[in-house]
Amino acid sequence: MTDVRKVALLMGAGLLLFGATAGITSAILYAHPSLLSSLKIFSKPDPKLVCKTIATDPNPPLNVRSSPVSAPDNIVGRLRNGTQLKVVDENEGWLRVVSPIEGWVYKDLTVTTCVPETIAQAVAKSPDNGEAVLKDATEFYQAGNLKAAIALAQTIPTNSSAYYAAQGAINQWQQDWKTAEADYYAAQKAFKEGRWQDVLEKVRNFPSNRYWRARLTPLVQAAIKQQQQQQQRK
């Protein structure tokens, strides 16, 4: 295969990767309006949305405190990941909850998901909402929040029809995340060292995760451009 043909094929791969990431932001924000806050974009809450906040502490259990400050003597209780919290107030990065324990929790150790009221009502009436929960967890994974995705998927009970799918997804997410992360940083290192072909090779078996693909795409595009320029100078 000639060098020119190789470049053409890799350009096509890069464009496919870029196309796969198009519209990511709009899709994620549509599925999870709560992610607006993490992007520092604030809008008026939609009164037709129903939001749910759960504990997602990377070092569980989640501490519930008597005041919105981290101190060794103000812990009033601890909650398992996946526990749903009833939030009534917020103060400088802390959430005041009244259920299942009354107190304050650090906001960054929780995740809030919002869905239209009609969907929330339909899920509430369903005897098994495991598939809906797994779908939300998958969106968190694709959006780049692996810990939240795992914590949410782990809330699916053993009697749910989605239980085994959720357990399988958790294992796959962890493997793919590790692979994507390693390949991305390897590509980044290769790019800094001018090894354009090594950057492009990472596209071939890169895991299907929108967050990591969105990060890899600019490197691939830049590597293609550099390789084209290199070919033209020959």
Contact between 107 and 65 under an 8 Å Cβ cutoff? The reply is no
pTM confidence score: 0.52
CATH number for position 68? 2.30.30.40
Q: Determine which helix (DSSP H) or strand (DSSP E) holds 53, and give its type and residue range.
A: strand 49-55
Q: Domain boundary at 125, 160, 195, which?
A: 125
Residues 25 and 136 in one domain: yes
Q: What does the pLDDT look like over 46-87, one tens digit per residue? A: 457 778 888 888 888 899 999 999 998 999 999 987 788 999
Phi, then psi, of 90 in degrees rounded to 5: -140, 140
Total domains in the fold of the chain: 2
Do 112 and 137 fall within a single domain? no
The Cα–Cα gap between 104 and 69 comes to: 8
Q: What is the DSSP letter of 108?
A: G
- In the block, which residue shows the tokens 């796969």? 20
Q: Which residue has the tokens 């909850």?
A: 97
Domain boundary pick from 95, 125, 155 = 125
Looking at the fold, whether 228 and 139 belong to one and the same domain comes out as yes
Domain range for residue 190?
A: 1-31+130-234
Give the tens place of pLDDT for each residue, 141-195. Answer: 999 999 888 888 888 888 888 888 888 899 899 999 999 999 999 999 999 999 9
97 lies in the same domain as 149:
no
Co-location of 48 and 120 in the same domain? yes
In this structure, the answer to whether residues 161 and 194 fall within a common structural domain is yes
Contact 107, 94 (CB under 8 A): yes
Task: Give 7's pLDDT tier (boundaries 50, 70, 90).
Answer: very low
Same domain, 137 and 89: no
- Residues 137 and 225 both lie in one domain: yes
